[in-house]
Amino acid sequence: MAEGKSPRIGAVAACSLLSASLACTSPPQPPPEPGCVPRFTAGNIVEDDLIVLFREGVTEDQAAKVLSGLHLARPFDWFPRIHVANIKLEHGHIGVLSDVATKLCGNSKEVWKVEPDYKVASISSLDDKCLPAASQDWPLTKIDVARAWSGNWNHSKGDPRVRVGVMDGRVGPLDALGQNLAGGYKYSSGPDLPDWHATSIAAVIGARWDTQSCSNAGLNAEVSIASLRVVGEDVGVMISALADHSHADEYRIDVMSVSLGLTGASSSQVEGLREAIQDAGQAGVLVVAAAGDTNVDVDSAGHQIYPCSLATRVSNLICVAGSDPQDELSSCSSYGATTVGLAAPGESIWAPYASDGDSDLCSWFKGSSMAVPYVAGVAALIRAKCPNASVDNIKQRLLCGDSMSSLSRYVVDGMRLNAFKALSAACSCVSPCECATQSSVETEARDAAFRSLTPR
- Mean of all residue pLDDT scores within the chain: 80
- E-assigned strands of 59-128? 76-79, 84-88, 111-118, 121-122, 125-126
Alpha-carbon gap, residue 261 to 174, rounded angstroms: 26
Number of alpha carbons in the 13 Å side-chain half-sphere of residue 293:
24
What domains are defined for the chain? 10-118 (3.30.70.80), 122-452 (3.40.50.200)
Tens-digit pLDDT profile for residues 38-92: 777 766 677 788 888 888 889 999 999 999 989 898 898 887 767 788 888 887 7
H or E segment and range at residue 102: helix 94-105
Q: Report the SS3 class of residue 53.
A: strand
327 in the Ramachandran plot: left (φ > 0), alpha (ψ -120 to 50) or beta? left
Q: What is the pLDDT of residue 90?
A: 85
Whether the per-residue pLDDT at 392 is higher than 50: the answer is: yes
Look up the pTM and report it: 0.76
Q: What is the pLDDT of residue 3?
A: 54
240 in the Ramachandran plot: left (φ > 0), alpha (ψ -120 to 50) or beta? alpha
Q: Return the top range by mean pLDDT from 148-152, 352-356, 375-379.
A: 375-379
Arithmetic mean of pLDDT, 284-298:
94
Strand partners of residue 89: 72
* CB neighbour class for 41 (10 Å; exposed up to 12, middle 13-18, buried from 19): exposed
Alpha-carbon gap, residue 122 to 184, rounded angstroms: 18
Task: Give percent of the chain above pLDDT 70.
Answer: 78
Degrees, nearest 5: CA angle 341-284-340? 10
Centre a 10 Å sphere on the Cβ of residue 82 and count the other Cβ atoms it contains. 16
